[in-house]
Amino acid sequence: MSKEITSRSEDYSQWYNDLVIKGSLADYSAVRGCMVIKPYGFALWENMRDALDKMFKDTGHVNAYFPLFVPKSLFEAEEKNAEGFAKECAVVTHYRLKSNPDKKGALMVDPEAKLEEELVVRPTSEAIIWNTYKNWIQSYRDLPILINQWANVVRWEMRTRLFLRTAEFLWQEGHTAHSSAQEAVEETVKMLNVYEDFVENWMALPVIKGVKTESERFAGAVDTYCIEALMQDGKALQAGTSHFLGQNFAKAFDVKFSDKENKLDYVWATSWGVSTRLIGALVMAHSDDDGLILPPRIAPMQVVIVPIYKGEDSRAQINAKGQELVNSFKAAGIRVKFDDNDNSRPGWKFAEYEMKGVPVRIAIGVRDLENNVVELARRDTKEKTTVSLDGLTERVSALLTEIQQAIYNKALEYRNSHITKVDTWDQFVETLNGKAGFISAHWDGTAETEEKIKEMTKATIRCIPLDNEQEEGKCVLTGNPSKQRVLFAQAY
């Protein structure tokens, strides 16, 4: 095998990069912090996007598209939002290049083509969208607005990682407008539930739903709800967020509506998003030292069939059977590839599809055909079995469902065994050093303590779980009284 990957125990971070690159999901690019999403990675994203898009539409949302650029004066209108994103935004200042007189064939920014007002490349679209909603909303009859946008955004991060943190990334951002606080909060929670449903049932990744502390809130939000997942190195990863924005953006952009009694009030808002970062979570949650492990429901290829030829005679016979299987699988809605490429040997192909995380591999040789069987290999457990060709499609279909559940169960078991209740500071530090995942501990509710813990341990409060039990206790750091435990972890 030419494509060796670093093992998790050796270097988790390098293992991750190896998987992304050698699993053909993405590649580095010539642009600092930006990546190329390769066809295999993009096919994965398309499956995720299509599933989410359907869920959004089924809950009454429609798609639209707003400009990439945000004029500086709009960008700065909602003060907290502006403050939160100002430090990491790409700014367009000119609209033309011209020949560089000092260097043949080279171009330079044309100083005469300076924009009157700088344009920020959207890091998020609340500003440009609420500035537009202002023109669309007069009365309660114009509400709610339930719009989603699939788009690219740019945040100029200093330290980037493929998928997890890139300067440009793809995402969806929902932006809704409502006539009451209650309706907006309900929308916020509804979309959090949609994310939970998607991440658990499509990505096979269990999540904890919760609310962020004030320090971890989205810039400009009244409340940020989140789903948090656990990676195999014990670090948490925020997999999606849904924000109740109150009337902050309506006030910043002066968006009012008249209610049924003809009384004017500011409009209530939510926004919610998930991004290509989810692909990073997927890779880190399920994969092993031999490559990716993809849940069948979103895998670009669910089944690969590898023919094992012995001489030219068997070829036609095997190919005919292979094609028959492909047709039968496709008819059953299974995404399948028959790999009859002559340039590589079966062993090389096995390793390649293992690397790419194809859930089920079928090998057919001439002896198998004589015995009316094939070899079936599961990517997740590496189990191999010899099974009859009779009823194979139904069997594979059931197996895909079984694998989806097995991957989820494994991740759930891992996650559940990595939540530790901790009551002293020593235990807290010890548990963290042991990469034990989430720590459930009391906290005194102050931003100061939260910040101090972060400085000392790099652990942050991931969330206050939605279904949290109330329990009297003492803050793990300060000993001050606390009414509930919160979830700490180091995080991506």
Binding residues for a copy of itself (CB under 8 A): 27, 29-31, 34-39, 41-43, 45-46, 62-72, 74-76, 79, 82, 86-99, 105-107, 109, 118-121, 128, 131-132, 135-136, 141, 147, 151-152, 154, 156, 168, 170, 343
Half-sphere exposure of 460 (CA within 13 A, CB side): 15
Closest Cα partner for 212 from 460, 23, 3?
460
Nearest residue (CB) to a copy of itself, 86 versus 326: 86
State in angstroms the smallest separation of the CB of 56 from a copy of itself.
12
Under 8 Å CB-to-CB from 411, ≥6 apart: which residues?
204, 205, 206, 230, 285, 286
Beta-strand runs (E) in 299-437: 303-308, 336-338, 360-365, 373-378, 384-388, 419-421
Nearest residue (CB) to a copy of itself, 66 versus 438: 66
Q: What is the DSSP string of 166-220?
A: -SEEEEEEEEEEESSHHHHHHHHHHHHHHHHHHHHHTS----EEEE--GGGS-TT
Nearest residue (CB) to a copy of itself, 62 versus 316: 62
Under 8 Å CB-to-CB from 277, ≥6 apart: which residues?
163, 164, 165, 169, 237, 239
State in angstroms the smallest separation of the CB of 91 from a copy of itself.
4
State in angstroms the smallest separation of the CB of 79 from a copy of itself.
6
State in angstroms the smallest separation of the CB of 156 from a copy of itself.
4
Question: In degrees, to the nearest 5, what angle opens at C-alpha 47 toward C-alphas 44 and 53?
Answer: 135
If one counts every other C-beta atom within 10 angstroms of the C-beta of residue 289, the result is 14
Nearest residue (CB) to a copy of itself, 118 versus 289: 118
Nearest residue (CB) to a copy of itself, 98 versus 330: 98
Fill in the amino acid letter for 35: M
State in angstroms the smallest separation of the CB of 352 from a copy of itself.
14
Under 8 Å CB-to-CB from 354, ≥6 apart: which residues?
290, 291, 361, 379
State in angstroms the smallest separation of the CB of 45 from a copy of itself.
8
Nearest residue (CB) to a copy of itself, 32 versus 483: 32
Between CA 200 and CA 208 the distance in angstroms is: 10
Q: Kindly state the DSSP code that residue 165 receives in the 8-state scheme.
A: B
Nearest residue (CB) to a copy of itself, 73 versus 381: 73
Answer for the pair 277, 175: CB distance below 8 angstroms, yes or no.
no
C-alpha dihedral, 98 to 99 to 100 to 102, nearest 10°: -150
State in angstroms the smallest separation of the CB of 452 from a copy of itself.
27
State in angstroms the smallest separation of the CB of 52 from a copy of itself.
14
State in angstroms the smallest separation of the CB of 26 from a copy of itself.
9
**Which phi and psi angles does 78 have, rounded to 5°?**
-95, 110
Residue with structure tokens 């700490």? 488
Nearest residue (CB) to a copy of itself, 102 versus 469: 102
Look at strands 114-121 and 256-258 and give their pairing.
unpaired
Nearest residue (CB) to a copy of itself, 46 versus 448: 46
State in angstroms the smallest separation of the CB of 117 from a copy of itself.
9
Question: In degrees, to the nearest 5, what angle opens at C-alpha 205 toward C-alphas 450 and 194?
Answer: 85
Nearest residue (CB) to a copy of itself, 104 versus 263: 104
Answer for the pair 450, 463: CB distance below 8 angstroms, yes or no.
no
Sign of the CA dihedral with 333 first, then 376, 289, and 229 last:
positive
**Which phi and psi angles does 203 have, rounded to 5°?**
-90, -5
State in angstroms the smallest separation of the CB of 44 from a copy of itself.
11
State in angstroms the smallest separation of the CB of 320 from a copy of itself.
23
Half-sphere exposure of 150 (CA within 13 A, CB side): 14
* Residue 354 β-bridge partners: none
Nearest residue (CB) to a copy of itself, 342 versus 455: 342
Tokens of 7: 């093992």
The crossing angle, in degrees rounded to 10, of helices 12-22 and 277-286 is 110
Nearest residue (CB) to a copy of itself, 128 versus 376: 128
